[in-house]
Structure 1
Amino acid sequence: MLKIIDRYIIKKYLGTFSFMLILLSIVVLVIDVQQKIPRIENAQAIDPKLNLSYFLIHFYPFWIINLVVTFLSILVFISVIYFTSRMANNTEIVAVISSGASFHRFARPYLVTSLFIAGISLIVNHFVLPWANIKKNELEAYTYNATNKEKVLGTAPVSAQLSRNEYIFINSWNKREKRGSGFVFQKFDKNRKLTYELKSSDVYWDNKKKQFVLNNYLEKTVNKDDSEKLGNSYEVRKSYGHAPDELFPNELLGQNKTTPELLKFIQREKEKGNSNLNTYLNELYQRTSMPVSIVILTFLALSLSSQKKRGGLGINLAIGISMAFIFVFSFEALKVVSENKSLSPGLAMWFPNLVFLPLAAYLYWKRANQ
């Protein structure tokens, strides 16, 4: 009998969740395309191939993967509230409990299904989503407004710390063309004294040979006796270990890396002395904290909706949507706080779970003992 009920609940869980996932994807896709058509038309003016059809094939499928992963725990939460409230209103839950099954036994298929979804989400977050983000982020900037688009594709000063004693500065660097002007490379000794400096009026990245090409350069070597050796020429090629996207990373870089790659990148930046890593650490911790929230929110939703209430399904959905909004808002707000270095990334990305876990545990314990 209970195994039949288990299959029934799992089918309800996955069926409702799948329906809401498909519905959300279609609705949000239609709204987003309508909003971004003017920006896509502007992109087409720059490159004729960047038309709406191109975006629908090469951008939006990967954008939807990112969207689903972002709102997965909320979709689970609302889905559980919806189908469990219907079961409660139809007195199905009362019938199961009255047959002699404990509430803990009734909750078992919820646990199994939430762990199944969380496990898939964990794999997707750490390995599949970065691949989708690479595809998405190639065109993402073209869907931004003019100001944000300029930050990603436009020209701006950039800098990089290659090691604790080596630095690169470029006065004007175009991220899309990978070309700039006002290049400076500096190397210091352990006493922070300048030992070598290389300046160039123009610089560009040779993608085939994986080198920076410096034009009209001037180099200066400072000897131990403070004497200087100068040199100059028309062109020199330099390799600084990484491509421009790695040396001058933007906020999207962390999204493009699988977790092993992201861990290596963070470790490398730490060894170089880079302390501005909270954006990438947020990305790393969120990949695990979000799947864990699926299990927590499943039991929170079960506890809130497994009892028949005055107001029925409507009041349960209202409570669920309100709590879902609080959950999503807290993640985004804490991400900003962490990026401003007011809170550690680990605590910021796990804080919503740390708040909702005891709430879910208390409500579940209270419901199980009624």
Structure 2
Amino acid sequence: MLTIIDRYILKKYLSTFAVMLALFAPIGIIIDVSEKVNKMIENKIPLTEILIYYYHFTIYFMNLLFPIFLFLSVIWFTSKLANNTEIIAILSSGISFTRFLRPYIIGASIISVFVLLMGFFIVPKASEGFNNFRYTYLRSDGKQAMRGDNTDVYRQISNDEFIYVNSFNTETKTAYNFSYEKFKKDKLEYKISASRIQWNPKTKNYTMYDFVKRTVGELGDKIEKADKKDAKYSFDLEDLTPVVYIAETLTLGELNRFIEKEKTRGSSNVNVYMVVLYKKYSIPVSAFILTIIAVAVSAMKRRGGMGLSLAIGIGLAFAFVFFDKIFGTLAEKSTFPPFLAVWFPNIVFGILAIFLLRNAKR
């Protein structure tokens, strides 16, 4: 049962975190608008599209920087408690430091469950809307979506089939600079290319524009051309999208099925998908670790006041983000195990939390 002190600290925990989000969300939006306003005006983007984008941006941005906001909010209000000698009074009443941590752990549990569910169901849709807008309006000239950098997709869809697209628009379900290669016993049997290929949901087939098919023959190649051609292929629409882009937009169940399908195909990009999957679990767990570190750092009354605690907190928060980004990229670009890469920051900072907690108890 929660005591008055528990309710008091828990209320401070949740309200300060909510205020921190409410303060930084507009700042993030203002910075993003200042960077993209020229493109928005140039491409004449409708106001409704912009409003929907910033709704998705807010969810995406908050989820991305959630550990920093949580960490700083805990340090902020705990430092205030320490400076007001409230923590000394609580501990002097006979409450142990471990018991003092209970409302913090309860608060971390509430936020972790919330972030976990958000990551499973809500954040993927926000990520899809966020990326759709960026690739449709901001990385190209208007509606020529995803003609920007790092959008090339090259995949092996079976033992003898390969596809390539330069870019993909999820709204129109259109890929650009498409090519399909079919091999037979390690020799190219034929190659199909098109300036763009569009998925037709009603007929469940693809329409290719500026179609060219080159069939390799012993005495000479046979070339077939058409301005427009419909065809059915064995690959899915998701196979045409950029690797991280598609992984971020799938809910938990969809992502698990997608990873299994990619494993059976022998995809070289499985590590990238696994990093996205493991982060859905590791980020909520970081709430507990960062909460304990924040309390241990800020519970002591310091001569430098709140400023010193915040300085230490900001340094630790950015160190956590640095480790998270470095090891995530390492897993995506190398053979480093994705599970270890994603959980390594939590392991390192978990050990740091235990060390700091022991010192704080003294």
Aligning the two structures, in what range does the TM-score lie when normalised by the shorter sequence? 0.7 to 0.9
Aligned to 2:205: 211
Shift of 1:136: 1.7
Pick the aligned partner of 1:328 from 321, 324, 327.
321
User: What corresponds to 1:341 in structure 2?
Assistant: 334
Corresponding residue for 2:182? 186
Contact 2:79-2:309 at 8 Å conserved across structures: yes
Contact 2:136-2:145 within 8 A present in 1 as well: no
Farther off after superposition, 342-351 or 22-31? 342-351
Taking structure 1 as reference, are residues 153 and 366 closer, same or farther at Cα in structure 2, changes over 3 Å only? same
The letter of the residue matching 1:28 is G
The structural deviation recorded for 1:212 is 2.4
- Distance in 1, matches of 2:290 and 2:250, equals 28
**Match of 2:310?**
317
Aligned residues: 354
Residues of 2 paired with 1:71 and 1:324: CA distance? 10
Separation (CA, whole Å) in 1 of partners of 2:23 and 2:233: 48
Does 2:328 align with 1:363?
no
Deviations 1:103-159 (A, max 9, x none): 111111111110110111111111111011122222022565669x98923598653
Q: What does 1:59-74 align with in structure 2 at a 5 Å threshold? A: 59-74=53-68
Cα deviation for residue 242 of structure 1 reads 4.1
Question: Are 1:58 and 2:77 counterparts?
Answer: no
Residue 326 of structure 1 aligns with an amino acid whose one-letter code is: A
For 2:70 and 2:205, the matched residues in 1 are separated by 48
Across the aligned residues of Structure 1 and Structure 2, the Cα RMSD in angstroms comes to 3.1
1:31 maps to a residue whose letter is I
Contact 1:338 1:344 in 2 (8 A): yes
When structure 1 is superposed on structure 2, of 126-135 and 114-123 the one drifting more is 126-135
- Please state whether the residue corresponding to 1:253 is helix, strand or coil: helix
Aligned structure 1 segments of 4 or more residues deviating by more than 6 angstroms: 226-231
Question: Tell me, what secondary structure is at the counterpart of 1:268?
Answer: helix
2:163 counterpart of 1:168: yes
Q: For the Cα contact (< 8 Å) 1:118–1:294, is it kept in 2?
A: yes
CA-to-partner distance for each residue in 1:235-262, whole Å, 9 max, x for gaps?
A: 7533223444433434311111012211
Relative distance call for 1:311 and 1:251 in structure 2 (3 A) is same
The offset of 1:211, in angstroms, is 1.7
The answer on whether the counterparts of 1:73 and 1:297 sit within 8 Å (CA) in structure 2 is: yes
Answer yes or no: is 1:83 the counterpart of 2:77. yes
Residues 39, 142 of structure 1: 8 Å contact kept: no
CA distance in 2, matches of 1:311, 1:3: 31
Report the Cα distance in structure 2 between the residues aligned to 1:146 and 1:96, rounded to whole angstroms: 59
Alignment of 1:240-251 (within 5 A): 240-251=233-244
The one of 111, 135, 157 equivalent to 1:117 is: 111
Q: What is the alpha-carbon distance in structure 2 between the residues aligned to residue 361 and residue 150 of structure 1?
A: 52
Whether 2:282 is the aligned partner of 1:292: answer: no
Unaligned stretches of 5+ in structure 2?
A: none
TM-superposition CA deviations, 1:344-368 (whole Å, max 9, x none)? 2222211111110011011112222
* Structure 1 residue aligned with 2:11: 11
Letter in 2 for 1:186: K
SS at match of 1:275: coil
Q: Residues 190 and 216 of structure 2 are in contact (CA less than 8 Å); yes or no, is this contact kept in structure 1?
A: yes
Secondary structure of the 2:197 match is strand
1:216 Cα offset (Å) = 5.5
Report the CA distance between 1:327 and its aligned residue: 1.1
SS at match of 1:307: coil
CA deviation vs aligned residue, 1:191-222 (integer Å, no higher than 9, x gap):
x455x435356652242423223566547598
Amino acid at match of 2:315: S
Deviation at 1:60, TM superposition (A): 0.4
Instruction: Please list every run of 5 or more consecutive structure 1 residues that lacks an aligned counterpart in the other structure.
Output: 45-49
CA distance in 1, matches of 2:313, 2:306: 10
C-alpha distance in 1, partners of 2:2/2:178? 73
In the alignment, the residues of structure 1 paired with residue 194 and residue 30 of structure 2 have an alpha-carbon distance, to the nearest angstrom, of 47
Task: Assess if the C-alpha contact under 8 Å between 1:62 and 1:136 holds in 2.
Answer: yes
Q: Note the C-alpha offset of 1:188.
A: 2.9
- TM (norm. structure 2) is 0.87
Instruction: Identify if the C-alpha distance between structure 1 residues 221 and 364 changes in structure 2 by more than 3 Å, giving closer, same or farther.
Output: same
1:18 CA drift (Å):
0.8
Over 3 Å counting, the alpha-carbon distance change for 1:141 and 1:204 in structure 2 is closer
Corresponding residue number in structure 2 for 1:127 = 121
Identity of aligned residues (%): 34
Correspondences of 1:265-304 after superposition (within 5 Å):
265-304=258-297
Tell me if structure 1 keeps the 8 A contact 2:153–2:240: no
The answer to which of 319-328 and 292-301 deviates more is: 319-328
Aligned partner letter, 1:11: K
Counterpart position of 2:21? 21
- C-alpha spacing 1:201/1:107, structure 2 compared with 1 (3 Å): closer
Does the aligned pair in 1 maintain the 2:200–2:207 contact within 8 Å? no
